[in-house]
Amino acid sequence: KQEVTQIPAALSVPEGENLVLNCSFTDSAIYNLQWFRQDPGKGLTSLLLIQSSQREQTSGRLNASLDKSSGRSTLYIAASQPGDSATYLCAVRPFTGGFKTIFGAGTRLFVKA
């Protein structure tokens, strides 16, 4: 059964620091992996989606990588800002047909001004 783990559960960094959030999954048979941002009391906003055939995706200060063979993805945030404070979740869509989606529990990020 596919399991998704995100470490650390929480992270506090000073403004301006570059940081990496980790996501690992147990079964490499996936269609894609998606990174989301969730602000308190709000829904999820899609940040980046990496297809199974891709190695990375970039959007502004964000870069997400995917290594299916090792079951790992990283979200790199450059020059962090207080506005980046949120919970970041990764989710995989297993290669089992249908539209199942498995989420990690998230990393809560706090960027100090």
Residues 29-88 that bind other proteins (CB under 8 A): 31-32, 34, 36, 41-46, 49, 51-53
| DSSP assignments along the chain, one per residue | ---EEEE-SEEEEETT--EEEEEEES---EEEEEEEEE-TTS-EEEEEEEETT-SEEEETTEEEEEETTTTEEEEEESS--GGG-EEEEEEEEESSSTT--EE---EEEEEE-
| Beta carbon nearer to other proteins, 51 or 70 | 51
Number of residues that bind other proteins (CB under 8 A): 27
Residue 108 CB, nearest approach to other proteins (Å): 11
Q: Does 94 bind other proteins (CB under 8 A)?
A: no
**Which residues of this protein are in contact with other proteins, per CB under 8 A?**
4, 31-32, 34, 36, 41-46, 49, 51-53, 89, 91, 93, 98-106
